[in-house]
Amino acid sequence: MKQPRPMKTFVLQEQGPIELTHATISYFFPKVEASVKTHSSTPMEAPIRATEFLRFTLLSLLFFVCRSSPSHDLLISNAERRIDLTSHIVKVYLTLKVENAGSTPTSEILLAFPPTQVDHLATVEALVTKGKRKKTTLARLDVTPTELPDAPNGTKYFTIYLTNPLNSGESTTLEVLYLFTHSLEPFPAEIGQSESQLVYYRDSALILSPYHIKQQTTFLKTPSTKVESFTRVEPTNRAGTEMKYGPYEDRHPYTFSPILIHFENNSPFPVVEELVREVEISHWGNLQVTEQYTLVHGGARHKGVFSRVDYQSRPNMNGVSSLRYLLARLPPRVHSVYYRDEIGNISSSHLRTDSRKSELEIEPRYPLFGGWKATFVIGYGLPLQDFLFESSDDRRYLNFTFGCPLLDTVVDKLTVKVVLPEGSKDPSAVVPFTVEQHLETKYSYLDVVGRTVVVMEKKNLVPVHNSHFQVYYTFKPIFMLAEPLMLASAFFLFFVACVAYLHIDLSIRK
Amino acid sequence: MAAPETSTAAVPTLYTNNTLRNAFGGVLSFFILLLIGVMAFSIRLFSVIKYESVIHEFDPYFNYRVTQFLAKNGIYEFWNWFDDRTWYPLGRVIGGTVYPGLTLTAGTIWWLLNSLNIPLSVETVCVFTAPIFSAFASWATFLLTKEVKGTGAGLTAAALLAMVPSYISRSVAGSYDNEAVAIFALIFTFYLYIKTLNTGSLFYATLNSIAYFYMVCSWGGYTFIINLIPMHVLLCIVTGRFSSRLYIAYAPLVVLGTLLAALVPVVGFNAVMTSEHFASFLVFIILHVVAFVYYIKGILSPKMFKVAVTLVVSVGLAVCCAVIAVLIALVASSPTKGWSGRSLSLLDPTYASKYIPIIASVSEHQPPTWPSYFMDINVLAFLVPAGIIACFSPLSDSSSFVVLYIATSVYFSGVMVRLMLVFAPAACITSGIALSQSFDVFTRSIKFQLPGISSSMEVDAVETSSATAEAQNDAVKTEKSEETSKNRPSKKSKKKEKEKEEKPSTKAKAEKRLLALPLDSSVIFLLLLILLGAFYVVHCVWAAAEAYSAPSIVLTSRSHDGLHVFDDFREAYGWLRHNTDVDDKVASWWDYGYQTTAMANRTVIVDNNTWNNTHIATVGTAMSSPEKAAWEIFHSLDVKYVLVVFGGLVGYPSDDINKFLWMVRIGGGVFPHIKEPDYLRDGQYRIDSQATPTMLNCLMYKLSYYRFVETDGKGFDRVRQTEIGKKYFKLTHFEEVFTTHHWMVRIYKLKPPKNRIRGKTKKSKSKTSSASSRGKRSGTGKKNPWQ
């Protein structure tokens, strides 16, 4: 337990808001360093930092040169940020009051993220409040990642496009929600069975923004009151499970103040490393879904002994962060659900169905401790009429959810395969976010030409991505009869051959 | 088989009625056979319905793994497969040491289905191979029994075999073992032998060799065939039944069969070199001598023949004696007299328990108990003697074969419980004969005694009893048909036979009238027979549903609050599969070797293919040694995890503590410092406070009962029904890394060696010694701040 201390004290020295310097960069952009990983103790940090000093100085010089470039027309009069650290998905709610101080109307607002955070950023959503007082409605805005040529230190941007341009002097309130995955670094990285899981969360006390922020506050919510340490950037308050950074007044663009919070988070970190969902459409009335999971507990790695007797007799003290069960929310009217892995059925699952949803509670074969893995398959059938519709242009489309049905899980890589019936043509997919797409061919029961498979791939998913997508295709119902007819004719030919054989006398001598 | 009769255009009008009846009977028996096949298949599905579609037990997992390899890599890779996942560090040449029949069969089925775009998994194909082949086996039984005693007996025997519990026990869905296809191959080979014997057709003789080849591919039990058929040939010769048909039935089988058998890598030159095959060659020689004698007898006058015999006998005897002496010397020079251990324990049932504990330790190599006969063949046990008697009236070549088959298999089943499986088809065939014969007698009596019906039913009676008539006239008929059908296609000759058969059967009717039994008694006996059959069916269904359907890797228990599932084995294997390094070695008793390699995909030290006794003894010794010595043994084998099966918490009786004495025995057989009496208190095996200190300090005890006392405070073992002897102890060289939900499998990790050195010797010394040998490990260990 000796290694963290130098780093922690080092961080705490950085009191108050500062401009980006080589030290903060090296702290906040650990990727720049050669060997610093996000999830392990880094005893080698100091020497590397020393050797790379020159480089950071250069970087920070570059930064100061560049930082004046983004437009200063906009300024943020008030920003409030709420960071929810209760689960392993970090949710950030950002409320920005944006004011156009320039002369030209603008409809683009930039959000800035440090590059390390961008890697873990799962989704960014922006909403604008419309209407006055009581009749406020939220309208979703387009958000796209943007590359700016002169981004300081590899800062990444997202542009929010306003529906109505913001005229000069006007102001609007934006609600921005973004989620980070893999952003809680367990420390210590390895824990025993009876220890609780402590994690680091790194962020900035000040919002990284290309705009001038007049006033800003950050609230952090931790899952329990047990907080080992946290960086103070005055004024900082902590009450119960909430921490408050700010309010800070009048900060320049790209001001940055790293904070580090070390707190207890005993919730399991279910991470699906890879999920392959295969949705097979049968026009005989069934939709067969097969989901292959590779699940890992992404929390602090389990160390040493696993004692079943402790685990069973003292469940509150032992293996508190272990993953005991998972809940999958399936569509209603689900049937023939199975839950198995490569060596057979897993008997520990419960299915609860009602008219609105189905809940499948599954337990892995063994409780998952940090770093433990399990693979399994969930499969179920669904009535086709709930998901397949005819569009106006005589095409058919499948309307299905995209993400992972397991609640509160992060999916590192998701592949959705929609297996269209044999003979369907012109497939096209409509997904609310960008995915990689390509087509495959699959041969299933008695196929001759094969079925078209629309494959969609996406990385770093959170439950927010469980939105609907559509796959359009054309299909002639006559193809449904192809296989039955084929079978019937095969049997017919077989019997004809039998009859023929019995009627033909092949003997040479009569 | 129905069609030829109906299709013949030139049927005399006299026989039209009967031909139609024959056709109807043919179609009927075809559908009965189809239903028998369906029943044979579906009665074996209880395990899938009650549990799941999963591979069962131990050996099937190995076969499954081999099939997976075959499906993935193809046949050539399969022949060359050297498996480094097992018998570490020796490995095993799978392609050359496995009977490939089952694997190739399932692999072919899988390949065929997949090429038709029916995407069944290898597992599914493997699970359902056994039920499919039991349907084939029941059809083969029909064919065999039909050759012996006619269609009626054939159908009865097929129905009996379709559900005989002994066979079900080895062929339920999921029981993917060699026997699943081997029993079919066995019966089918016998059928083809009998068929050749009855027809004298070289075509069937060739088929017979191919069927024999399939049997050799499938199961080590092929030696039963290659000994039984020579025995029968010898019997035929001795009883003066030598004929050219016998020669054709036997000689090609030996030549072709041996050549083909030598193609199977696992058999290879054993096909000519081991004593198991010796009998066949000896009989082959005898057969030729006899054939030669018959030939000489044919061309010489009786007087000349006598002279020739005395000449040949005097010279021949001398030569024979010399040859036999050389042979005996050769055989005697090998320590096991050229017989493998399993075969020897067949001949001498006490052999294994005396010399090879590893064979004796396997539960299926134990002699069966009387209840197990009743359990496995049920009422057939009573019908068999009747069937044997029926075979003697009249005794033909084929029925004498059945008698010989049942006599030998009864003996073998008495030696090894596993060979009940060979006995079951014989029992079914004889019982089928007995049942159909007695049905025949009783129904005939009833028909002839009912005055109103008897006249109108005369034709009927002939019809129904034609099967038996055929059988009874078998001897006559075969002699007759021999001349007529010598070189004819079988289809034609069969037609001829059928036509011919009408005459003798009408003749036989008169005799049968005299044999009629009293009406009331025959009705009662008929009812009793039906009751017996019903009892058999009920028992079989019960056995299939309850006794033999459990896959043994998943256990269930019924309690007042519903079904409770114990899935601990797969929990442990799943954990090993995902949470240990791919190259880690897992040590366990050999029973779990196949499962560990197949389900956990980890390297094991020993497995169920018990080919290296020393290696198994090493593991046995480690398990029965104290912790430190065991650690050293395991460490020398590069073992990282030790897996033990412990049933004490939930009362699972076949756990490692109950198998432990075998480990001691097998270990002690090779390493004499392990002595069985050290583990027994006054000859009793116990683990309570009366147990010996050696027992309480051995690794198996410690790994099984580590922290067990904390579950209930007393440490009460539910299997042994006693409190354990040593309750509180610590492990110094092993650490618990995983225990399943019901504690049935416990996995321990060997502690790294530096822990052993620390505190004992000076640091500097340990540093130098460890730095040289395992510098990396100690280096990282030192850096780790949490240790």
- What's the pLDDT tens digit per position in A164-201? 888 888 888 888 998 888 888 888 888 888 888 889 99
pLDDT range class, residue B440, cuts 50, 70, 90: confident
Question: Is 0.90 topped by the overall pTM?
Answer: no
pLDDT at B492: 44
pLDDT range class, residue A77, cuts 50, 70, 90: confident
Task: Say if A294 is an interface residue toward chain B (CB within 8 Å).
Answer: no
3-state secondary structure of B291: helix
Q: What is the mean pLDDT of residues B270-275?
A: 82
- What's the pLDDT tens digit per position in B14-60? 556 778 888 888 889 999 999 999 999 999 999 898 888 889 888 89
Q: How far is B741 from chain A (nearest CA, A)?
A: 7
pLDDT range class, residue B484, cuts 50, 70, 90: very low
pLDDT range class, residue A312, cuts 50, 70, 90: confident
Q: How many A/B residue pairs have CB atoms within 8 Å? A: 93
- What's the pLDDT tens digit per position in B140-195? 999 999 999 889 999 999 999 999 999 998 889 988 988 889 999 999 999 999 99
Reduced 3-state DSSP string for B690-755: CCCHHHHHEHHHHHHHCCCHHHHCCCEECCCCEECCCCCCCCCCEEEEEECCCCCEEEEEECCCHH
Amino acid letter for position B2: A
Mutate to test the interface with B, among A195, A310, A343 (most CBs of B within 10 A): A343
For residue B600, what is the nearest residue in chain A, using CA coordinates? A343
Q: How far apart are CA B737 and CA B580, in angstroms?
A: 10
Q: How far is A292 from chain B (nearest CA, A)?
A: 15
Q: How far apart are CA B767 and CA A326, in angstroms?
A: 47
pLDDT at B474: 43
pLDDT range class, residue A444, cuts 50, 70, 90: confident
pLDDT at B154: 92
Q: How far apart are CA A491 and CA B635, in angstroms?
A: 62
Q: C-alpha distances in angstroms, A312 versus A196, A302, B567, B578, B710?
A: 17, 17, 17, 22, 11
Q: How much of chain A exceeds pLDDT 90, in percent?
A: 18
CA B712 to chain CA mean position, Å: 43
Bridge partner list, A417: A278, A455
The region that residue B143 occupies, defined by phi over 0 for left and psi between -120 and 50 for alpha, beta otherwise, is alpha
pLDDT at A380: 93
DSSP assignment, residue A317? T
For residue A192, what is the nearest residue in chain B, using CA coordinates? B786
In terms of Cβ atoms closer than 10 Å to its own Cβ (0-12, 13-18, 19+), residue A9 is exposed
Q: What is the mean pLDDT of residues A218-244?
A: 87
Chain B residues within 8 A of A343 when measuring between CB atoms: 54, 570, 573-574, 577, 599
Q: Does residue A307 carry a pLDDT above 70? A: yes
Q: C-alpha distances in angstroms, B635 versus A396, A432, B241, B617, B638?
A: 64, 57, 66, 16, 5
Asked whether the beta carbons of B264 and B100 are under 8 A apart, the reply is: yes
Asked whether the beta carbons of B625 and B699 are under 8 A apart, the reply is: yes
Residue B579 to residue A372, Cβ atoms within 8 A: yes
Q: How far apart are CA B427 and CA B424, in angstroms?
A: 5
Residue A344 to residue B785, Cβ atoms within 8 A: no
Q: C-alpha distances in angstroms, B623 versus B472, B614, B668, B741?
A: 63, 14, 12, 23
Mutate to test the interface with A, among B552, B741, B787 (most CBs of A within 10 A): B741
- What's the pLDDT tens digit per position in A14-73? 333 434 334 333 444 443 333 333 333 334 444 444 444 444 444 444 444 444 444 557
Q: What is the mean pLDDT of residues B738-747?
A: 90
H helix or E strand, kind and range, residue B677:
none
Chain B residues within 8 A of A313 when measuring between CB atoms: 710-711
Asked whether the beta carbons of A119 and A38 are under 8 A apart, the reply is: no
Instruction: Walk across the sheet containing A468-474 and list its strands.
Output: A388-390, A396-401, A468-474, A425-430
pLDDT at B15: 57
Q: Does residue B104 carry a pLDDT above 70? A: yes
- What's the pLDDT tens digit per position in A29-45? 443 333 333 333 334 44
pLDDT at B342: 65
DSSP states of A442-472 as a string?
E--TT-SS-EEEEEEEEEEE-GGG--EEEEE
Interface list for A 184-213 with B (CB within 8 A)? 188, 190
Q: Does residue B108 carry a pLDDT above 90? A: yes
Q: How far apart are CA A467 and CA A400, in angstroms?
A: 8
Q: Does residue B662 carry a pLDDT above 60? A: yes
Amino acid letter for position B461: A
Q: Using CB atoms, which residue from A188, A346, A446 is nearest to B118?
A: A446
Q: Among A121-125, A130-134, B467-471, B720-724, whose mean pLDDT is lowest?
A: B467-471
Residue A188 to residue B786, Cβ atoms within 8 A: yes
DSSP states of B543-569 as a string?
IIIIIS---SSSEEEEETTEEEEE-HH
Q: How far apart are CA A233 and CA A203, in angstroms?
A: 12
Residue B575 to residue A190, Cβ atoms within 8 A: no
Per-residue b/e over B530-557, b at no fewer than 16 CB within 10 Å? Answer: eeebeebbebbeebbeeebbbbebbbee
The two structure tokens encoding residue A117:
């955070």
pLDDT range class, residue B754, cuts 50, 70, 90: low
The two structure tokens encoding residue A22:
């080589």
pLDDT at B428: 92
DSSP assignment, residue B368? P
pLDDT at B541: 92
pLDDT at B335: 61
DSSP E strand boundaries for B24-133: 82-83, 92-93
Q: What is the mean pLDDT of residues A371-385?
A: 91
Q: Does residue B479 carry a pLDDT above 50? A: no
Q: How far apart are CA B717 and CA B524, in angstroms?
A: 54
Q: How far is B245 from chain A (nearest CA, A)?
A: 22
Q: What is the mean pLDDT of residues A460-477?
A: 88
Those residues of chain B whose CB sits closer than 8 Å to some CB in chain A are: 3-4, 7, 52, 54, 116-119, 488-489, 491-492, 553-554, 565, 567, 570-571, 573-575, 577-579, 599, 707, 710-711, 735-741, 743, 785-786
B303: Cβ–Cβ under 8 A, 6 or more apart, which residues?
A: none
B401: Cβ–Cβ under 8 A, 6 or more apart, which residues?
A: B148, B190, B193, B194, B197, B232
Q: What domains can you pick out in chain A, each with its CATH number?
A: 7-264 (2.60.40.1730), 270-481 (2.60.40.1730)
- What's the pLDDT tens digit per position in A94-140? 998 888 888 888 888 888 888 888 888 888 888 887 766 666 777 78
When comparing pLDDT for B461 and A510, which is higher?
A: A510
N residues, chain A: 510
Q: What is the mean pLDDT of residues A78-95?
A: 90
- 10 Å Cβ neighbour count for A318? 19
Task: Say if A341 is an interface residue toward chain B (CB within 8 Å).
Answer: yes
Chain B residues within 8 A of A306 when measuring between CB atoms: 736-739
pLDDT range class, residue B97, cuts 50, 70, 90: confident
Q: C-alpha distances in angstroms, A454 versus A412, B273, B382?
A: 20, 61, 65
Q: How far apart are CA A111 and CA B549, in angstroms?
A: 64
H helix or E strand, kind and range, residue A290:
strand A286-297
**ipTM associated with this complex:** 0.81
